[in-house]
Amino acid sequence: MDAGPPWPGPGRPPSCRGSSLGLLPGASPPWASPAGCATPCGRGKGRGRAMTPEERAAFGVEGDWAAWRRHRIRWSECDALGHANNTAYLTFCEDLRVGPGWSALGGRFAADAVSPVVAQIEARYLRSLVFEDEALLTLRFAAVKRTSFVHEYAVWKDGLCFSCRTVLVAVRQDTGERVPVPPAIRAAMLAAGAKDEAG
């Protein structure tokens, strides 16, 4: 018996299942349009809207975050005991990094494009999530230098469950050369709260 796709809506990819992307109160989206997004993440209900006080309270969110989305833990993200696997949290960060953290700012992923490459990653696992838990994933732009920038991520459910910080380097994909962060993307990150550490 075919129950249909395991995600809501026809053609909606699993990476977006249960997602809702938004911004904090008073923040305007650092991207002009969803053009460049590889998936429909954030194009629906929550895209570009502020996180409500009720949502902050429901997930126990602290601090300011430039972008966020809801996520329901899938079985494929769990170990045999139903706990979210450690690698799943890193995939949550990756989804935010390539969506609202790059593509939505005007970045591209192509052989002739400048794209981010992870140079360093630091992760802290504080509390487990389990199958079908609904969590809130958040992203903020911590700093931007000349050729690199820093993203901070968090996963929330009744408070902080996981935090992560990555240093990313802007690289030409065809040559592997380290290059300056594209000006429009740099400006969008600064507008969203990143510290300018270009020096």
Boundaries of domain holding 45: 17-25+41-196
Which contiguous run of DSSP H or E holds residue 42?
A: none
Q: Is residue 6 part of a domain?
A: no
Q: Is 148 in contact with 168 (CB distance < 8 Å)?
A: yes
Q: Is residue 142 part of a domain?
A: yes
Q: Establish if 133 belongs to a structural domain.
A: yes
Q: How many domains does the chain have?
A: 1
Q: Give the whole-angstrom CA distance, residue 198 versus residue 81.
A: 46
Whether 118 is covered by a domain: the verdict is yes
Calpha distance 150→119 (Å, rounded) = 10
Q: Looking at residue 130, what is its pLDDT?
A: 97
Contact 103, 37 (CB under 8 A): yes
Residue 171 C-alpha from the chain's centroid: 20
**Binned average pLDDT, 10 residues per bin, the chain of 199 residues:** 33 35 41 29 48 94 95 96 96 95 93 95 97 97 98 98 98 95 96 92
Phi/psi at 165 (5° precision) = -135, 130
C-alpha–C-alpha distance, residues 90 and 93, integer Å: 5
Q: For the full predicted model, state whether its pTM sits above 0.85.
A: no
Residue 34 lies in a domain: no
Q: pLDDT value at position 50?
A: 81
DSSP 26: T
Q: Is 155 within the bounds of a domain? A: yes
CATH number of the domain where residue 125 is located: 3.10.129.10
Amino acid type, 80: A
Would you say residue 78 lies in a domain?
yes
Q: What CA–CA distance (Å, rounded) separates 58 from 139?
A: 18
